């Protein structure tokens, strides 16, 4: 175990009963230094009862004395034989209730703009299930008509570094499998400055590129020559013979 039990309550006890620095308490309890300062100011962990780490055999009193005498000293958690071999259980990402309604929009964004991501990666980023991802990918979700794609980073469902790492991992896996990435997919893997500096992409498919330079056939040349010789007067100035024929018809 790298952190004490009831870390925030332990931090409250250390703030109230020792002269340790905020950084020392934060490093020991796995909290940020400013969060420990907020505990000392009464802005954080209001109403939380302190938890004595010495009485719970998580910290020795001698360790506290050493740390108080030396601000650079880091507290060491007391060894607990019962905790050997235990690892933190990995489960789906916890999503607050206020943000769970935003998950379908984030899933649709990831499916649309990062199709190279696997369902397991999307589930880990957003904190959802594979059946939900499949329903949005196949557009069978009950509310698919009202879902708009929104960046999960903007929604606060994941960090930009986590999204970039997932995309890079998917790209490496696709390259190892021999899949060819399109230019649009490559642009998603580079920074914005690099993407903007890249040249324009060819508009013609590679299979027909160069056909615009082929010479015209004789029929095409004759047709274009006829079009050049035609002018507007030829359509509106009728020959005089036609006028005489009209007079004969009137008589």
Say if 27 falls within a structural domain: yes
Chosen domain end from 168, 187, 206:
187
Say if 194 falls within a structural domain: no
Say if 30 falls within a structural domain: yes
Distance CA 156, CA 202 (A): 37
Residues 13 and 71 in one domain: yes
pLDDT at position 113, please? 93
Say if 236 falls within a structural domain: no
Say if 122 falls within a structural domain: yes
Tokens encoding 144: 């698919």
Please state, as a whole number, how many other Cβ atoms lie within 10 Å of the Cβ of residue 198.
Answer: 11
Residues 75 and 102 in one domain: no
Residues 79 and 102 in one domain: no
Residues 122 and 149 in one domain: yes
Per-residue pLDDT 10s for the chain (251 aa) are: 477 888 889 999 999 999 999 999 999 998 888 989 999 988 888 888 899 999 888 888 898 999 999 989 988 888 766 555 544 555 556 667 777 889 999 999 999 999 999 999 999 999 889 999 999 999 999 999 999 999 998 888 888 888 999 999 998 888 887 655 555 555 455 444 444 455 444 444 444 444 444 444 455 555 555 555 555 555 555 555 555 555 555 54
pLDDT at position 213, please? 47
Domain that holds residue 62: 7-83
Residues 134 and 176 in one domain: yes
pLDDT at position 221, please? 58
Say if 169 falls within a structural domain: yes
Residues 179 and 140 in one domain: yes
- Residue 57, sorted as left (phi over 0), alpha (psi -120 to 50) or beta, turns out to be left
Say if 104 falls within a structural domain: yes
Residues 181 and 105 in one domain: yes
Residues 126 and 168 in one domain: yes
pLDDT at position 216, please? 45
pLDDT at position 206, please? 43
Tokens encoding 49: 């009862």
pLDDT at position 84, please? 54
pLDDT at position 104, please? 94
Residues 119 and 148 in one domain: yes
Say if 44 falls within a structural domain: yes
Domain count, the chain: 2
Distance CA 104, CA 199 (A): 35
Rounded to 5 degrees, φ, ψ at 222 are -65, -40
């Amino acid at each position: 175990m790298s952190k004490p039990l009831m870390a925030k309550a332990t931090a409250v006890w250390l703030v109230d009963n020792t002269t340790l620095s905020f950084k020392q308490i934060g490093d020991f309890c796995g909290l940020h230094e400013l969060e420990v300062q907020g505990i000392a100011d009464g802005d954080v962990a209001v109403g939380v009862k302190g938890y004595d780490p010495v009485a719970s055999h998580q910290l020795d009193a001698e360790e506290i004395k050493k740390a108080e005498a030396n601000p650079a000293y880091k507290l060491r958690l007391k060894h607990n034989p019962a905790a050997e071999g235990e690892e933190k259980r990995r489960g789906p990402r916890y999503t607050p209730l206020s943000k769970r309604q935003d998950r379908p929009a984030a899933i649709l964004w990831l499916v649309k703009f990062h199709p190279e991501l696997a369902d397991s990666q999307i589930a880990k980023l957003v904190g959802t299930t594979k059946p939900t991802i499949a329903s949005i990918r196949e557009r069978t979700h009950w509310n698919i008509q009202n879902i708009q794609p929104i960046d999960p980073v903007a929604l606060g469902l994941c960090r930009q570094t986590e999204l970039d790492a997932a995309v890079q991992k998917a790209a490496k896996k696709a390259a190892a499998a021999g899949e060819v990435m399109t230019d649009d997919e490559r642009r998603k893997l580079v920074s914005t400055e690099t993407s903007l500096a890249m040249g324009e992409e060819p508009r013609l498919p590679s299979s027909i590129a160069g056909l615009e330079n082929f010479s015209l056939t004789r029929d095409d040349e004759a047709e274009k020559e006829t079009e050049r010789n035609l002018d507007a007067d030829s359509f509106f100035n009728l020959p005089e013979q036609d006028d005489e024929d009209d007079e004969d018809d009137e008589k």
